Copies of this chain bind each other. A is one copy, B any other.
């Protein structure tokens, strides 16, 4: 089992509508350290899970849709629900099709799994993991 990981970060504002979140109902923000990993059972023709630079580019493109944003106004998080868990899920679900549309020799060999981990502070983080569509063999 091989895993490749790359990291980046975003800076966003948000708040929560749900009284469950106490002071985080107020408009505040976060720097999210983002760790993206791709796991495969075997390597591709270039002896890698996929190219590190290409993976970093995919991550940056997807993160750019959130970076320097107020997530309270973002369609993906209706009713101010941009919890760290939902953010990780959103990012993973945006990244998966980007990886699936890569040319066969540049994409991670299937079957593959994807994980997005978000560090919201030095003492808290959350992640979401999904399987890449198994349609195209590795």
A43 closest partner in B (C-beta): B85
B4 touching A126, Cβ below 8 Å: yes
A130 closest partner in B (C-beta): B1
B-chain residues with CB within 8 Å of residue A63 when the two chains form the complex = none
A31 closest partner in B (C-beta): B31
Within 8 A of B (CB), among A108-138: 117, 120-130
A95 CB-CB contact with B under 8 Å:
no
In the complex the two chains form, what is the Cα distance from A29 to B27 in whole Å?
A: 9
A30 CB-CB contact with B under 8 Å:
yes
A28 touching B3, Cβ below 8 Å: no
A5 touching B126, Cβ below 8 Å: yes
B2 touching A67, Cβ below 8 Å: no
Residues on A close to B: CB < 8 A?
1-9, 11-14, 18, 20-24, 26-33, 43, 46-49, 51-53, 56, 67-70, 81, 83-86, 88-89, 117, 120-130
